[in-house]
């Protein structure tokens, strides 16, 4: 692990940590007068269920992107100015999630919220794709041992998810509920096991 | 320390740092008109005592979980995809604390707040337990030298605390004050000295 | 990478990660009554465009400063008390950005906001300049191999940007729109390629 | 640098980064109707001067404590369970600063705010003192080469500052303005040069 490497991942990890932590601030404590607390508090808390789902979903989606970024960096051995900038773009897209997640938390059934959330996730995916394409193109910044099969597999996984998200955005114009379902199902696509040990994140302690 | 290892702990440590820092934002500065400040400010600040206790308590509880995570990672020498996901779950549970702590800060004497806080702590404990069970099962990701006695001891400590928290949740239906007392006492259970030097976190500088 | 080095960059990277993430909280979710959401939400979201530009701009500007700090630290091999303090100053200036960015997000067309934003950016640049001057003066804290040409080039780039920002501040008294344009264009000045490989941030994995 | 070491400092550095960044959120953007912006905005911003001083002061004070913690850890080579807990206490005290700083920002001339701020700073200092006493007592966790003179010097510096803060707290009952002056002057006491190279934070790149 070199210093360059290290600082990029520290910055990116910091952003992920903050975004994941701030998502919970979308839950507002219900404010009730003392007389009504006992009768109303439980009901009020149950009303937060949709936000709870959106909280867990957004954390899981961010977890997926973090793992992708993490895995890509395991193959990246050099860092150049362009890669730094691609990482800044990545941060811009990731740091936008608290807004788009809050929007979908507030207006889950409305097209506009679904479109903004979807475009945000697609943007993150596209930057990750660009990150990988740039690093692996002509083996610019990655280890020579990296097989072309793995390179392609990463590309396909990211683009596959983005196609699903694109469909969700389009579908939201007709049936927002189906878009939400797609958002909930895409993580399962990512979590499914992979036959590539390296992709699966296994590593021995050096 | 390898790179994989390092990024997980950076992400988790970042989440802990943010959650512990944000807990203080539950303290609201009392707003008083200039004329009344001198007579009222001290009294208003004393009214924040329960929140101060809840602040210290939640920081201590998070400190305990952080030390457990920290100690587990001292024995973990490999990281696989499943462990990454268990850590994402851990983050989801830890990042929820600002909400449940704010809830108990606002409604300390109400069952609903005590139940949510307790379930949150139990969830963190269960994920930590799963983390350790997964890593140590068939010595999957840990050093072979690790004695079975230490493995069991960690399991027992975590489950012990969770049983106390479970009791607190049940008791809250009858006597919320006792539940609060249990929440305050459980940390003492964790802080008690252990005979296992390794568990105690001692390590020489390599 | 030594420990001293490491902790300064961890602290600085943490501040950058938080500032970049918090900028998005300047976007307020529009609050609409259920009846009006469908007709108004899209229009309300489009109204956030200026804030979106200010968000991306501030992230990019922070990205530039982060890359400069990052690059400077690649040549710095010793750390002394003064450098620690210069870094504290740097943090004070960087952590101020959420305020000045929010101000320009709210009052983009007003001189006062443009002046505060500009002075904030100039302050960050001046501290970075001081950082580099102090570290490279008599090769105090940097590698001896560092060529004078690179040392000067870094100085010139930072001062060049600061002159542009200074012009923007002055111009805001007559034509605030031109100042905003300068703020948007300065990043292009930084992003332009450099002929110095080292400055460009390339590094082999040791 | 070992792993234990590393995670404590990561957690502590994270807390410092967040606290320093959040202090600026005490600055509220003045909200003005469009018609009045031009005439009032500059005046409104000038009214924020006391908060600006309190922002810079609190950042500098936190910077001092961070440098102390940083310097102590350069001599600490082992970590035990007690040291972990002292660090958790340290975090609890440091993470409280956004509250006490906001209080003094709002009620600078009132005894209660000055007392809370002073007690907060004294608490941080006392934990740092405990940290150093515990680590150096019988050379428990520090390098054997560490001279007793340096050990004592660190103790004296921390206790010296705490005595000043204690005086400020007492004086606030008679003359709050003098207390504020003491808070502003104490950092100069810390920033003064030291004859101990090691304390001054110099270190070669290993």
3-state secondary structure D131-179: HHHHHHHHHCCECCCCCHHHHHHHHHHHHHHHHHHHHHHHHCCCCHHHH
Query: pLDDT tens-digit profile of D39-76?
Result: 888 888 898 888 888 899 999 999 999 999 988 988 99
**What are the sequence ranges of the domains in chain C?**
3-23+48-191
Mean pLDDT of D112-119: 94
Chain C closest-CA separation from residue A169 CA (Å) = 15
Chain C closest-CA separation from residue A115 CA (Å) = 10
* Cβ–Cβ below 8 Å for C15 and D20: yes
The number of residues in chain A equals 206
Write the DSSP symbol of residue C143.
-
Helix axes D176-191, D49-75, angle to 10 degrees: 40
- Composition of chain B by helix, strand, coil, percent to 5: 75, 0, 20
Chain A closest-CA separation from residue C165 CA (Å) = 22
What are residue B142's DSSP bridge partners?
Answer: B76
Candidates C9, C66, C90, C95: best to mutate against D (most CBs of D within 10 A) is C95
**In which element (H, E) is residue C31 found?**
none
In terms of pLDDT, which residue wins out, A72 or B30? Answer: A72
Mean pLDDT of C161-181: 94
Q: What are the chain A neighbours of C25 within 8 Å (beta carbons)?
A: 22, 98-99
**Percentage of chain B with pLDDT > 70?**
91
Q: What are the chain B neighbours of D2 within 8 Å (beta carbons)?
A: 1, 203-206
Q: What are phi and psi of D79, to 5 degrees?
A: -130, 130
Chain C closest-CA separation from residue D174 CA (Å) = 32
Burial class of residue B175 in the structure, from the number of CB atoms within 10 Å of its CB (0-12 exposed, 13-18 middle, 19+ buried): exposed
**Can you give the pLDDT at residue D164?**
94
SS3 C201: coil
Q: Please, what is the end-to-end C-alpha distance for chain C in angstroms?
A: 11
Q: What are phi and psi of C140, to 5 degrees?
A: -55, -50
Mean pLDDT of C178-199: 77
SS3 A170: helix
Chain D closest-CA separation from residue B109 CA (Å) = 24
In terms of pLDDT, which residue wins out, B126 or A187? Answer: B126
Task: Report chain D's mean pLDDT, rounded to a whole number.
Answer: 87
Please give the C-alpha separations between residue C138 and each of A201, B180, C135, C142, C143, in angstroms, as whole numbers: 46, 62, 8, 9, 11
Q: What's the CA gap between A157 and A129, in Å, rounded?
A: 10
Neighbours, chain B (3 or more CB pairs < 8 A): A, C, D
Q: What are the chain B neighbours of A24 within 8 Å (beta carbons)?
A: 95-96, 98-99
Whether the pLDDT of residue B37 is over 90: the answer is: no
Whether the pLDDT of residue A176 is over 50: the answer is: yes
Whether the pLDDT of residue B206 is over 70: the answer is: no
Q: What's the CA gap between D84 and D175, in Å, rounded?
A: 39
pTM over 0.80, yes/no: yes
Query: pLDDT tens-digit profile of A118-137?
Result: 999 999 999 999 999 999 99
Query: pLDDT tens-digit profile of C104-113?
Result: 888 888 899 9
Residues 6+ apart with CB under 8 A from C29: A99, A102, A103, A106
Q: Residue A160 CB: number of other CB atoms within 10 A?
A: 14
Q: Number of residue pairs across B and D with CB atoms under 8 Å?
A: 112
User: D124, D94 in Cβ contact below 8 A?
Assistant: yes
User: C14, A14 in Cβ contact below 8 A?
Assistant: yes
Tokens for C157? 């780039």
Q: What are phi and psi of C148, to 5 degrees?
A: -65, -30
Is residue C203 very low, low, confident or very high in pLDDT (cuts 50, 70, 90)? Answer: very low
Query: pLDDT tens-digit profile of B140-161?
Result: 999 888 889 989 988 998 999 9
* Cβ–Cβ below 8 Å for A21 and B99: no
**Can you give the pLDDT at residue D201?**
45
User: A153, A92 in Cβ contact below 8 A?
Assistant: no
| Least confident interval from A19-23, B153-157, B186-190, D174-178 | B186-190
Whether the pLDDT of residue A198 is over 60: the answer is: no
Closest CA to C157 of C184, C196, C118, C183: C196
Q: What are the chain D neighbours of A14 within 8 Å (beta carbons)?
A: 14, 17
* Cβ–Cβ below 8 Å for A205 and B80: no
User: A58, A50 in Cβ contact below 8 A?
Assistant: no
Residue of C nearest to A74 (CA): C205
Query: pLDDT tens-digit profile of A131-158?
Result: 999 999 999 999 888 889 989 988 998 9
Whether the pLDDT of residue B204 is over 50: the answer is: no
**Can you give the pLDDT at residue D26?**
81
Q: What's the CA gap between C172 and C107, in Å, rounded?
A: 13
Is residue D163 very low, low, confident or very high in pLDDT (cuts 50, 70, 90)? Answer: very high
Chain A closest-CA separation from residue D149 CA (Å) = 35
ipTM confidence score: 0.87
Candidates C1, C7, C18: best to mutate against B (most CBs of B within 10 A) is C18
Whether the pLDDT of residue C170 is over 50: the answer is: yes
* Cβ–Cβ below 8 Å for C107 and D66: no
**Can you give the pLDDT at residue B193?**
64
Q: Please, what is the end-to-end C-alpha distance for chain B in angstroms?
A: 11
**Can you give the pLDDT at residue D195?**
55
**Can you give the pLDDT at residue D98?**
93
Among chain C, residues having any CB pair with chain D shorter than 8 Å are 2-7, 10-11, 13-15, 17-19, 22, 77-81, 84-85, 88, 91-92, 95-96, 98-99, 102-103, 106-107, 110-113, 116
Candidates A1, A6, A18: best to mutate against D (most CBs of D within 10 A) is A18
SS3 C79: strand
């Amino acid at each position: 692990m070199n210093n360059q490497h290290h600082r990029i991942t520290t910055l990116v990890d910091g952003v992920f940590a903050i975004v994941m932590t701030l998502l919970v601030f979308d839950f507002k404590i219900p404010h009730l007068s003392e007389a009504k607390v006992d009768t109303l508090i439980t009901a009020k808390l149950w009303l937060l269920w949709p936000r709870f789902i959106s909280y867990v979903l957004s954390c899981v989606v961010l977890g997926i992107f973090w793992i992708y970024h993490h895995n890509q960096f395991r193959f990246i051995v050099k860092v150049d100015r362009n890669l730094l900038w691609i990482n800044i773009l990545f941060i811009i897209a990731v740091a936008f999630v608290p807004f788009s997640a809050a929007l979908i938390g507030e207006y889950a059934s409305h097209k506009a919220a679904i479109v903004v959330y979807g475009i945000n996730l697609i943007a993150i995916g596209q930057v990750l794709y660009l990150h990988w394409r740039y690093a692996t193109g002509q083996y610019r910044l990655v280890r020579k041992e990296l097989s072309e099969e793995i390179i392609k597999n990463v590309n396909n996984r990211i683009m596959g998810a983005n196609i699903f998200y694109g469909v969700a955005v389009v579908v939201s114009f007709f049936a927002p509920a189906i878009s939400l379902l797609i958002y909930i199902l895409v993580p399962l696509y990512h979590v499914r096991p992979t036959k590539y040990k390296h992709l699966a994140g296994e590593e021995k302690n050096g």
